[in-house]
Amino acid sequence: MSARRTGRTRSHEPPSPRSRSGIVLVTSAIVAHVAAAMAALGVVLSTGGLGTPALVAVLVATCIGVAIVAAAATNRIVYHLFGPLRELRRAMGLVSQEDYGVRLPEHGFRDLVVLAKRFNIMAERLEQARIAETAHAKELAHDAALQASNLEKVSEQLHTLDYAKDAFLSNISHEMRTPLTSILAAVEILQHFCDGDQNAREEFLEIIDRESRRLLKLIESILEFAIVEAEEIELHTANHDFHDMIMDAAEDCSAAAAERGISIVTDLVHPGIRICCDRGRIERVVSNLIENAIKFSPEGSRVELELDIEAGHAVLRVLDEGPGVPPERRTVIFGRFGQAPSLLTDKPEGVGLGLPLSAGIAKAHGGNLHYEDRDYRGACFVLRIPLAKSPEPIVAGQPGR
C-alpha cells in the first residue's frame, strides 16, 4: 500500500493477492522444513545416537534452510506491514502542510485498508472544506471590490453634488441680489431725488413692485421645491379641462414671447380633456415649460404646444427651436441643482428649480415629466398626467396661485 497524489506517482507497489499468496507459501515452506527437521531428529533419536555423519548433515542443512526461509518470510512480512505505515506517515506530513490532495490506496491487509479508507475520507473532507473556504474568500473579495467601487461612485456623486450645491447657492445668491439691488436703488432715488416728479416716482415704484414680485416668486419656488423634495406636497384636486389650462398658461406667457418675437403655436386637437389635478400647480408646470422654451429659443422662432391622449394619460408636448439638451444632461436637469453646473456667465436667467419642481409636481399627480428625443434641432419636454376617472363635473374659474 502506497500514497498517491494528483500529478504524482510512486514506484512502490501495493501488495497484491499474488504477493499475499507468496507469503502463505513461504510460511508453509517454513512449516515443512521444521517438520522435516523434527522427523530427522526423531530418526536420530530412534537409532540411539547423533553420531551418524549423514544424519548430522541432514539436520544441519535442514536448520540452515529453515533459518534462510524464515528470514526471507520475515523480511517479506515486514515490507508489506511497515511499508504502508511509512506511506501513512508521509501522507500525514503532507496533510499537516495543508496538502489535502494526497490519498492512500485501499488494498492490502484488512486493518490497513480500513485505516486507508478513513484517512482518505478525512483528506477528502479537508480538501472540500478548503475548496469551500477558497470560494468563500473569493466571494468576499469580490463583494469587497464591488463595495469599494460603489463607495467610489458614491463619493464621486457626492463630490459632484457638493460642487453643484455650491454653484447653486452662488447662483441663487446672485438671483436674489439682483432684485434687492434694484429695489434698494429705487428706494434711495425716491428718498433723495424725486420729491416733485410724480412720473419718476411712479416709474421707480413700478420697479420696486416688479422686482419685489420677482423676489417673492423666487422665494416661493425655493420653499415649494423643499416641500416637493420632502414629498409633503398637499394637493387640492378636482376635475379640470386640461385644454383650457394650457390656453391660460400660454396667454400668461404671451407677453414674454412677444418681447422676443417668438410665437406660441397651439396644436390642441383634443379639447375637453379632463384631468383630476391641483389646477394651480399644474398650470404652474405648464407655464414653467413654456417659459423655458421661450428662454432658450432664438428671437423670431416659435414654441409649439401639442396635446394628445396616450394610454390613459393626457400628454402635453412643448417644443422649441433652441439648442436642445445634450444627452448627458437629459436626466440631470430634473434633479437637484440641475442647472447649477453651467457657467453663470453663459446661462439663462433662473436658478434651475423649474424643471425639478415641475417633475415633482407631475409625480405627485401620478404622472411624469421627461425629455423626448427629436430628429431635428430643438428641445421637447413631455408632461403626462392621468385622465380623470370619476364623472365629477369640470370645475371652472381661475386657479388660486
Q: Which domain holds residue 206?
A: 158-229
SS3 content of the chain, % helix, strand, coil (to 5): 60, 10, 25
Spatial CA neighbour of 16 closest among 78, 119, 108, 84: 108
How many C-beta atoms surround the C-beta of residue 6 within 10 A? 7
379 and 244, same structural domain? yes
CA–CA gap between residue 227 and residue 353 (Å, rounded): 13
Highest mean pLDDT out of 203-217, 249-263, 339-353: 249-263
CB 1 within 8 A of CB 15: yes
Residue 113 in domain = no
DSSP state, residue 196: S
pLDDT at 27: 58
174 and 68, same structural domain? no
pLDDT band for position 341 (cuts 50, 70, 90): very low
CA–CA gap between residue 339 and residue 169 (Å, rounded): 12
Per the prediction, the chain carries an average pLDDT of 78
For cell 408632461, what's the residue?
Answer: 383
Residue 395 in domain = no
377 and 259, same structural domain? yes
Higher pLDDT, 312 or 108: 312
Q: Enter the pTM of the model.
A: 0.54
Cα 19 to chain centroid, rounded? 65
CB 15 within 8 A of CB 109: yes
Residue 316 in domain = yes
Cα atoms in the 13 Å half-sphere on the side-chain side of 149: 6
- Which amino acid type is present at position 380? C
369 and 338, same structural domain? yes
Higher pLDDT, 129 or 21: 129
For cell 421645491, what's the residue?
Answer: 225
**What is the average per-residue pLDDT within 151-175?**
78
339 and 276, same structural domain? yes
CB 305 within 8 A of CB 269: no
Residue 328 has pLDDT above 60, yes or no: yes
Residue 255 has pLDDT above 60, yes or no: yes
pLDDT at 378: 87
Spatial CA neighbour of 15 closest among 90, 105, 91, 141: 105
- Which amino acid type is present at position 110? R
pLDDT at 137: 92
45-49, 129-133, 145-149, 187-191: least confident range: 45-49
Cα angle, residue 111 at apex, residues 29 and 16 outer, rounded to 5°: 50
381 and 242, same structural domain? yes
The fraction of the chain above a pLDDT of 90, given in percent, is 25
21 and 88, same structural domain? yes
Q: Which residue(s) pair with 303 in the sheet?
A: 264
pLDDT at 268: 73
Per-residue cell: 166:
455650491
Highest mean pLDDT out of 13-22, 31-40, 253-262: 253-262
Higher pLDDT, 356 or 329: 356
Residue finishing a domain among 206, 229, 252 = 229
CATH code, domain carrying 246 = 3.30.565.10
75 and 53, same structural domain? yes
Cα angle, residue 276 at apex, residues 274 and 280 outer, rounded to 5°: 105
Spatial CA neighbour of 297 closest among 382, 377, 214: 377
Residue 209 has pLDDT above 70, yes or no: yes
pLDDT at 8: 42
pLDDT at 71: 67
CATH code, domain carrying 198 = 1.10.287.130
21-30, 310-319, 333-342: least confident range: 21-30
Q: What is the residue-wise DSSP string for 306-318?
A: EEEEETTEEEEEE
Residue finishing a domain among 199, 229, 259 = 229
Residue finishing a domain among 197, 229, 261 = 229
Q: What domain count does the chain have?
A: 3
Residue 9 in domain = no
pLDDT band for position 88 (cuts 50, 70, 90): confident
Residue 12 has pLDDT above 50, yes or no: no
Higher pLDDT, 135 or 214: 135
183 and 51, same structural domain? no
331 and 242, same structural domain? yes
For cell 385644454, what's the residue?
Answer: 243
pLDDT band for position 351 (cuts 50, 70, 90): low
How many C-beta atoms surround the C-beta of residue 116 within 10 A? 23
**What is the average per-residue pLDDT within 316-330?**
87
pLDDT at 400: 42
Residue 312 in domain = yes
Residue 7 in domain = no
**What is the average per-residue pLDDT within 269-275?**
80
Higher pLDDT, 193 or 143: 143
245 and 212, same structural domain? no
**What is the average per-residue pLDDT within 308-334?**
87
313 and 375, same structural domain? yes
CA–CA gap between residue 325 and residue 378 (Å, rounded): 8
**What is the average per-residue pLDDT within 215-222?**
83
pLDDT band for position 340 (cuts 50, 70, 90): very low
Q: What is the residue-wise DSSP string for 226-246?
A: HHHHTT------EEEEHHHHH
pLDDT band for position 387 (cuts 50, 70, 90): very high
pLDDT band for position 356 (cuts 50, 70, 90): confident
Higher pLDDT, 223 or 59: 223
pLDDT band for position 196 (cuts 50, 70, 90): low
CA–CA gap between residue 113 and residue 128 (Å, rounded): 22
